[in-house]
Structure 1
Amino acid sequence: MARDTSNDTPVEGFDDLVDYLAQGCRPREDWKIGTEHEKFAFYADGNSPVPYDGSAGIRVLLEGMQEKLGWEPIVDGNKLIGLASPIGQGAISLEPGGQFELSGAPLETIHQTCRESNVHLSQLRQIAEPLGIGFLGMGASPKWSLEQTPLMPKSRYEIMSAYMPEVGSQGRDMMRRTSTIQTNLDFSSEADMRRKMQVGMKLQPLATALFASSPFTEGAPNGLLSWRGDIWRDVDNNRAGILPFTFASDFGFADYAEWALDVPMYFVLRDGRYHRATHVTFRQFMDGALRDEVPNPEPTLGDWINHLSTLFPDVRLKQFLEMRGADGGPWRRICALPAFWVGLLYDQDALDETADWTADWTVDEVQAMRDTAPEKALATPFRDGTMRDLGYRALAIARAGLQRRAKLNPDGFDEAHFLAPLEEIVARGTTEAEEMLRAYHLRWDHSIEPLFEAYAY
């Protein structure tokens, strides 16, 4: 989750909200790739979760990274809860259950993304290993109960944790027991945003299937391949999932802003203090609903930016687009996810082909895939075939798109080779989750403990 913003620019009306989104338009030559990845911290001795406090806790880990990197501390109250590059080259933050997240810098190529991830993980190991801490790359916590999982001392998480049971059955699991890889991509215009949003929404269930890696809950198989994907089916359906209105031929920034206005808020941030605001929508806030409840109750641009960060659709619109459907996973997946989406969306021929291919997919069809993918992954039916068939086609388009981009590393290789882990999955017809289950039954003697070695970074 993003660092919360303080921006005191007054919001005068609806046009200001729309204009903020529209300001994200950038010429093609300025497009960047932002990649975020989360991972579960665990103690190597016993594979138990790492709390915030203690002589070998998350706070000490953050302090060590701060000393190593020289990054600026992000503090909530008197608690260190993240680090930010002083020159805008990324941030480290904590998800609610202590998942350690790198929000990468906006970069030009996937080669740079992989180098960034490699450097981060190497630096993190240097600090973590003396503390006896390792990091697990998969989509959901395979062992710990919700009660065993710590809650990080971040004010917005306290608000969310109290609110989640009011609006869904799996919100606290989402917060504390899931982990993701996410890619953030640019657009050049409202029309370009529309096409990328629509392609992204339609193919997000495929991303869930390709990256499925969460088949265990509390030490045993859970009957799913992406438990994380299933959790998102009932977190808070006012702010999550497929957004049918984005499928419209004239969808634009104003439509997203209208939707966001009527989603309940989580909080208002004033002078470093979080004020719970889950009882009002942003529209009601603009109409004065918090006038007697918070200091300086007039909405600001910072309030709008923070509100946008608390919306959780499968593709989220800010001043860029966030692709949110993938489970966390091994290191190669950190590079594979941006390769998948950049190949489809950043090459014009690839975007044209994908948009034409998916043009007649209906909301109901996409919703059905989204509902089924957590259980069946590549075996999810679609029309006369399965999602595996969609995977073959999407990856072929993405590979061609990356080859046309022709972003070469020093050895002369383009970005297409980063798709290899996904191409292997489609070729063999089994996801990482199914490989985990096979190992659990055949090699690991029905124990999930070997996961902590096999899938550690």
Structure 2
Amino acid sequence: MTTPTSDIDESAPRIESKAEMVEWCEMGNTPASDWKIGTEHEKFGFIREGLKPLPYDGDVSIRAMLEGLRDQFGWEPIEESGLLIGLKKNGASVSLEPGGQFELSGAPLEHIHQTCNEVGDHLREVREIANPLGVSFLGMGSSPLWTMDETPMMPKGRYAIMRDYMTKVGRLGREMMFRTCTVQVNLDFSSEADMVKKARVSLALQPLGTALFANSPFTEGRTNGFLSYRSHIWTDTDPDRSGMLPFMFEDGAGFERYVDYALDVPMYFVRRGGKYLDASGLSFRDFLEGKLSILPGEKPAIDDFVDHLSTIFPEVRLKQFLEMRGSDSGPWSRLCAFSAFWSGLLYDPVALDGAWQIVKDWTAAEREAVRQSVRVLGLRTPVPGGRTLQDVAIDVLALSRNGLKARSKFNTAGDDETGFLAELDEIAESGLTPADRLLELYHGEWGKRVEPAFETLAY
């Protein structure tokens, strides 16, 4: 979750109508020539001796990591209540998720070669700070070893509010907060119609992203029965703010319809005076009318609406771009592959049309059935038409590859972006997800222990 770098401006104009929020979303319309790629990924920090999670404070800690990056690599600090809780530099940021997950939110970049270099540079910097501390970082979709009691909580005001609210709306919300890691890519659209088409294709295919990147089969030192436990967690976190957005497939879908959806999602917080005020469960529609009980008579600024959008967690999220949110975090190669996969599919009109032809006849119930099954079955998941998700993976990867070829974005060696898909091609052809491979290791050479994952999957 991106860390705000300033307080809400008390003098900022207040929103007077829903149209202003719709217009804010429309400001995301971007000519295809200016489309960018923004990659985000999270990872678990751990102390190598004893495989313990990193606390926030102390000589060996999250704070020490942030201070090292600040002091050695020129990152600017982001503070909250006097505590260092994030960093920013050159359009990118480093932030902390609730359980200490270390997140890089990358800068908007032109192509995947730049994205992969950015991720590689970040991981190199992280290792240079971490190694003298005896610390490493793990690329998995969920925490494989630690209990909830062993997992630290980061000192950010919003997280206490969210933690306390989670138990009211789902069984696994705290699991989501403290024990999951994801990889995301943020992609542009040129118009409302383009946004809707990309949203529909990417929503329908998020379960494919879940399967190709499934990487969370362990919990508290043993198998959990899932290939993507992170995906399972999202099915019982908060139905008001997560899921597959069936309304985006209906007539009239667009910016206004998404704003209507967002306004009906209960709030978490409001930022005022350098603090997070608990607004959990309250209505943003009441806020628009000056009837929010914790700020009577006050209406929201546009930054309040942007904050509210950041607390909505569907499989594909709309801001002034679209966020792909359905996949587990993993090793460096798959972080690059993730952004390449979605960019090739959504940034080429032929590839996008081809993907739409695959999913256009799937019903809302069928899309949800695929989502519910993929967390356990992976690429073996049945899809409409008597096929499996493996069949779809092979077809969709071919579309993405052709889309990347058509983009013609080359590195200094003259290579285009298609090479980043090689690992995904192998996964699709084999029908075995990364989690399937981890389970083979667990039941074989790892001797039914998850501790070796901290070496195999460390960055």
**Within 2, Cα distance between the matches of 1:29 and 1:72?**
31
The aligned residue for residue 236 of structure 1 is 238
Determine the C-alpha separation between the residues in 2 that align with 1:101 and 1:249.
37
Q: Which amino acid aligns with 2:50?
A: G
Within 5 Å, give how 1:10-409 maps onto structure 2.
10-85=14-89, 87=90, 89-290=91-292, 293-294=294-295, 297-383=298-384, 384-409=386-411
Q: Which whole-Å CA distance do the structure 2 matches of 1:421 and 1:295 have between them?
A: 54
- CA drift of 1:272 comes to 1.1
**How many residues get paired?**
454
CA RMSD in angstroms, aligned pairs only:
1.1
Q: CA deviation at 1:123?
A: 0.6
* Counterpart in the other structure of 1:414: 416
Contact 1:270–1:295 under 8 Å retained in 2:
no
Distance of 2:252 and 2:28 partners within structure 1: 18
Unaligned runs of 5+ in 2: none
Q: Distance in 1 between matches of 2:250 and 2:76?
A: 43
Which is further off, 229-238 or 70-79? 70-79
Whole-Å Cα distance in 2 between the matches of residues 274 and 39 of structure 1? 25
Shift of 1:295: 8.1
Query: Per the alignment, in what secondary structure is the counterpart of residue 167 of structure 1?
Result: coil
Which AA in structure 2 matches 1:57?
S
Question: What are the Cα deviations for residues 257-308 of structure 1, in whole angstroms up to 9, with x where unaligned?
Answer: 0010111000000121110101311111112222x52388221111000000
Q: One-letter code of the match for 1:9?
A: P
Separation (CA, whole Å) in 2 of partners of 1:450 and 1:117 = 24
Separation in structure 1 between the aligned mates of residue 297 and residue 265 of structure 2, nearest angstrom: 21
Is the Cα–Cα contact under 8 Å of residues 208 and 374 in structure 1 kept in the other structure? yes
- Identity across the alignment (%): 52
Alpha-carbon distance in structure 1 between the residues aligned to 2:79 and 2:147: 28
Q: Secondary structure at the match of 1:166?
A: coil
Q: Which amino acid aligns with 1:17?
A: M
TM-score by length of 2: 0.97
Q: Does structure 1 retain, via aligned residues, the 8 Å contact 2:215–2:227?
A: yes
CA distance in 2, matches of 1:306, 1:297: 16
Structure 2 Cα separation of the partners of residues 270 and 365 of structure 1: 43
1:454 offset after TM fit, Å?
Answer: 0.4
Amino acid at match of 2:135: I
Alignment partner of 2:235: what SS? helix
Residue matched to 2:2: 2
Contact 1:275/1:294 (8 A) holds in 2: no
Query: Do 1:308 and 1:318's aligned partners in 2 also have CA atoms closer than 8 Å?
Result: yes
| Distance in 1, Cα, partners of 2:285 & 2:295 | 16
SS of 2:141's equivalent in the other structure is coil
The code of the aligned residue for 1:358 comes to V
AA aligned opposite 1:50: L
- Counterpart amino acid of residue 73 in structure 1: P
Structure 1: distance between partners of 2:418 and 2:403: 8
8 Å contact kept, 2:140–2:328: yes
User: What SS does the corresponding residue of 2:38 show, helix, strand or coil?
Assistant: strand
- Matched to 1:119, the amino acid is D
After TM superposition, the score normalised by the length of structure 1 is 0.98
Kindly indicate whether the alpha-carbon contact (under 8 Å) linking 2:217 and 2:226 is maintained by their aligned counterparts in 1: yes
Runs of 4+ with >4 A deviation: none
Q: Say if 1:343 and 1:401, in contact at 8 Å, map to a contact too.
A: yes
Corresponding letter in the other structure for 2:320: Q
| Distance across 1 between alignment mates of 2:306 and 2:245 | 20
- Residue-by-residue CA offset, 1:79-100 (whole Å, 9 max, x unaligned): 1110112x4x200000111010
